[in-house]
Amino acid sequence: MKRVPSTLSPVIAVDRKAPVPLHKQIYDGFRSLIIGGNLGAGQQVPSTRALASELKISRIPALTAYAQLLAEGYFEAHTGAGTFVCRSLPEQFERSDRGPARATPVRTGARSISCLATALPPYKAIPWLRGLGAFNVGQIAFDQFPFQVWSRLVIRHCRNLNSTALQYGGPLGFEPLREAICTYLRTARAVQCHSHQVMIVTGSQQALEISTRVLLDGGDAVWMEEPGYWLTRDVLNSAGCRLIPVPVDDQGLDVAVGIKRCRKARAAFVAPSHQFPLGATMSASRRLQLLEWAHHSGAWIIEDDYDSEYRYDSMPIASLQGLDSNSRVIYIGTFSKTLFPSLRLGYIVMPLDLVDRFSAVRRAMDIAPPHFFQAVLTDFMNEGHFARHIRRMRQLYAQRRAALVASLSEQLLGSMEIVGAEAGMYLTILLPNGLRDQDVAERAARERLWVQPLSPAYLGENRRNGLVLGFASTSTAEMSKAVRHLKSVMDDEKRAQSTRSKTLLTPPQ
Ligand SMILES: Cc1ncc(COP(=O)(O)O)c(C=O)c1O
């Protein structure tokens, strides 16, 4: 059994006035913590000296209690290391891996939680988001990340922790990082910004959450791309907003339909550079139409620019925010695609007059972003590693995308249509009628292929079946094999679906 290093004093109450001697109280306290599972096998207990000092008693009762616990086999002593809960406790005592010892009492009847919390279905792990490997949409090429450089910078900052690094920061985040991001955004994304308009956040998700809290109230109508990013939908649903699905075609969000469905919406959430999950780039005329609508109706546009660094067949597309002359666009970006998702760093570029509002909401939420990786990332950007890494990945992902398109065309031609392969780290295939994407995705996940079904990305009933396939994490050499594997999964699912429908049609004997 693994030894759990912990010398924190457990909660043992001693009462000097009680008729029970102190050593017996300590003995009983430890014994019941072990039997109850609050102290697990192998866990270190404090020294008698430390315990006595904590309990403000003399050391003698602690020594007596420990001697008894050692003699009875609840404790074991390791010379030079300390005293531990015995590793070979009887089976019924070993409960530390099984959660809290005292089970929460079972209650019957409804237990009230907020209406907003019930706006989301309870969390459960989704099969196709569970693993790493072929087609995972959010997975970068981990093996290509410059970990040597990154580690060097991490070590540099570990060794130079000063008071700024340890103290609370401001709600906008680390100023040098905001400056580095501004330089990058002005150059690469044509974003109009100054560092005091930039807020560092823990990824796009927090940016969506903060923007929603600042700009919207429960019941507000909001345009949402149809199909769209389900985590945007979750943020808006949990804020009690009224979602208006606005269809997306090959020119991006259909603004005219949005206006027809709800001209007075308070905001539009869009990914104009690379729409998720159909991959369209919003055309110039739609961009102008959207900005015009926002200007005249006083609505906000939340621009999610999550992966537009990767564009393959054409020049990078400038941001929508860069076109906006009425400060109606909130621009959101992330390092989840350019660096790695567990970093949890992203940014918001806010209109100047809203900076104090965003800052107040952010402070109420989590005060400020953690400092350490902001400092590491600042150096990574300022020393040129970020730009170099993006350039390398753009080339690599272009090759992987080409390999995926070629394999799909060769092996699945006729049974699917590819959409949205011009940019980003994924493309989408539309499935022939009759093949249910969620069933395919579930079957694929059982075979460790992590395709995402398209249909859950729709709000309305008119859903297309398709699969979103990430290509960034699969090498060109492996791609053809992965596609062949996917084809066999799809064939199996087709056969299973036809058997199921035959069974349904056959009358019972
Ligand atoms: C549309 C969209 N926006 C944003 C993100 C990135 O989110 P985060 O920065 O929270 O990791 C993703 C991730 O897949 C996405 O698909």
How far, in Å, is the centroid of ligand 1 from the Cα of 204?
Answer: 6
Model pLDDT, residue 89: 74
Ligand 1 centroid to Cα of residue 237, in Å, is: 17
Evaluate: CB of 254 within 6 angstroms of ligand 1: no
Q: What confidence score (pLDDT) does residue 9 get?
A: 79
pLDDT of 366 strictly over 60: yes
**340 in contact with ligand 1, CB cutoff 6 A:** no
pLDDT of residue 316: 79
| Axis crossing angle, helix 385-412 with helix 372-382, rounded to the nearest 10 | 90
Tell me which H or E stretch contains 329.
Answer: strand 329-334
Mutational test site, ligand 1, from 137, 139, 204, max ligand atoms within 8 Å of CB: 204
Q: Is the CB of 272 under 6 A from ligand 1?
A: no
Answer yes or no: is pLDDT of 368 > 90. Answer: yes
Q: Is the CB of 386 under 6 A from ligand 1?
A: no
pLDDT of residue 386: 98
Q: How many percent of the chain have pLDDT more than 90? A: 82
SS3 of residue 489 by DSSP: helix
Expressed in angstroms, the distance from the first to the final Cα of the chain is 58
Does residue 318 sit in helix, strand or coil?
coil
| pLDDT, tens digit (0-9, with 9 covering 90-100), for 142-160 | 999 999 999 999 999 999 8
Distance from Cα 430 to the centre of ligand 1, integer Å: 22
Residue 275, ligand 1, Cβ within 6 A: no
Q: Which long-range contacts (CB under 8 A, 24 or more apart) does 391-396 make?
A: 392/144, 393/140, 393/141, 393/144, 393/309, 393/310, 393/338, 393/472, 394/309, 394/310, 394/311, 394/312, 396/141, 396/144
- For residue 500, report the distance from its CA to the centre of ligand 1, in Å: 36
Mean local confidence (pLDDT), 186-204: 97
Distance 37 CA to ligand 1 centre (A): 40
Interval between CA 56 and ligand 1 midpoint (Å):
53
**pLDDT of 266 strictly over 90:** yes
Question: Which pLDDT score, from 0 to 100, does residue 6 have?
Answer: 52
Contact (CB, 8 A) for 279 and 428: yes
For position 94, what pLDDT does the model report? 54
The model's pLDDT over 109-136, given as tens digits with 9 standing for 90+, comes to 778 999 888 999 899 999 888 899 999 9
* Site to substitute for ligand 1 among 135, 231, 335, most atoms within 8 A of C-beta: 231
Best mutation site among 308, 334, 344, 347 for ligand 1, i.e. most ligand atoms within 8 A of its Cβ? 334
Closest CA to 36 of 48, 25, 24, 28: 28
Between the CA of 429 and the centroid of ligand 1 the distance, in Å, is 20
pLDDT, position 408: 96
- How far does residue 229's CA lie from ligand 1's centre (Å)? 8
Prediction pTM value: 0.89
Q: State the average pLDDT over residues 317-345.
A: 97
8 Å CB contact between 473 and 483 = no
Would the CB of 203 count as within 6 Å of ligand 1?
A: yes
Q: What is the pLDDT of residue 55?
A: 93
- Pocket of ligand 1 contains residue 276 by CB under 6 Å: yes
Selection from 25, 348, 36 nearest residue 212 by Cα: 348
Is 508 a residue whose pLDDT tops 70? no
pLDDT in tens, 23-70: 999 999 999 999 988 998 999 999 999 999 999 999 999 999 999 999
- Compute how many other C-beta atoms are within 10 angstroms of the C-beta atom of residue 498: 11
Q: Which pLDDT tens digit goes with each residue over 219-237?
A: 999 999 999 999 999 999 9
Structure confidence at residue 433 (pLDDT): 80
The mean per-residue pLDDT over the stretch 273-283 comes to: 96
Confidence bin at 164 (pLDDT 50/70/90): confident
Place of tokens 């890494």: 389
